[in-house]
Amino acid sequence: MLLFLFSCKSHVEKEFSNGDKYIGEWKNGKQNGNGKMAFENGDIYIGEWKDGKYNGKGIITYFNGEKYEGEFLNSCRKWEREIYLPRWSSIRRKF
């Protein structure tokens, strides 16, 4: 007996019970591929996803205006990238 299993990515617009909103690619019941998440607290992540977590290149803008642009692994920022502070601050920090 030969069994073929394949899962295709689809594009979804989903609102979670906590108020977070996701628009992007969806596979195996999770965010996979490129997408945007607007969190209830005002943070916004735009970038690559794998198995429901930020993975790969992306940008997260926090509700206070701070922005991180770089690589992510399992929803954590990888260092050696830049963090931009809000307009009112002229400081750019490198980690």
- Number of structural domains in the chain: 1
Kindly state the tokens that stand for 15: 């609102």
Given a cut of 90, whether residue 13 has pLDDT beyond it is yes
Instruction: Answer yes or no: is 6 within a domain.
Output: no
Is 70 exceeded by the pLDDT of residue 86? no
User: Are 58 and 41 in contact, with CB atoms under 8 Å apart?
Assistant: no
Q: Is 75 contained in some domain? A: yes
CA distance 38 to 14: 11
Q: Judge whether 83 lies within some domain.
A: yes
Whether 63 has a pLDDT exceeding 90, the answer reads: yes
Please indicate, yes or no, if residue 56 is contained in any of the structural domains. yes
Kindly state whether residue 68 falls inside one of the protein's structural domains: yes
Q: Is the residue at 79 inside a domain?
A: yes
Instruction: Give the structural domain span for 42.
Output: 20-94
Residue 8: pLDDT band (50, 70, 90) is low
Identify the CA nearest to 14 among candidates 44, 42, 35: 35
